[in-house]
Amino acid sequence: MARIPRRYATLLYGILQAGATTAAATGVAAFNMTASGVQLVEQWAITWLLAWLTTLPLVVGISPLIRRMVEMLTSAEGAGRPQR
């Protein structure tokens, strides 16, 4: 199986994370709005695709900023502890 180069890891993470998050959220919303199984699947698929296409650019675009913020707010294990 061909693998994606590591330099695209942030992009791939964003794609997968946006897909999983929007699938869960739209699944809950579609379940609450529909009565039958077929209607549920149809409504969920349409809603999920729209939500994923809307969320994907946001997630991919903001991921590098969030990563930098996390790096600024955290430290390596043992760093920042007073020496005895």
The answer to whether residue 7 scores a pLDDT higher than 70 is yes
Angle between helices 37-73 and 9-33 (to 10 degrees): 140
**Which candidate, 80, 22, 26, places its Cα nearest to that of 52?**
22
pLDDT tens digits along 15-45: 899 999 999 999 888 888 877 788 888 889 9
Strand positions, DSSP E, 1-84: none
Percent share of the chain, pLDDT over 70: 92
The answer to whether residue 83 scores a pLDDT higher than 70 is no
The answer to whether residue 64 scores a pLDDT higher than 80 is yes
CA distance 30 to 41: 8
**Which candidate, 43, 47, 23, places its Cα nearest to that of 34?**
43
Task: Give the pLDDT score at 79.
Answer: 65
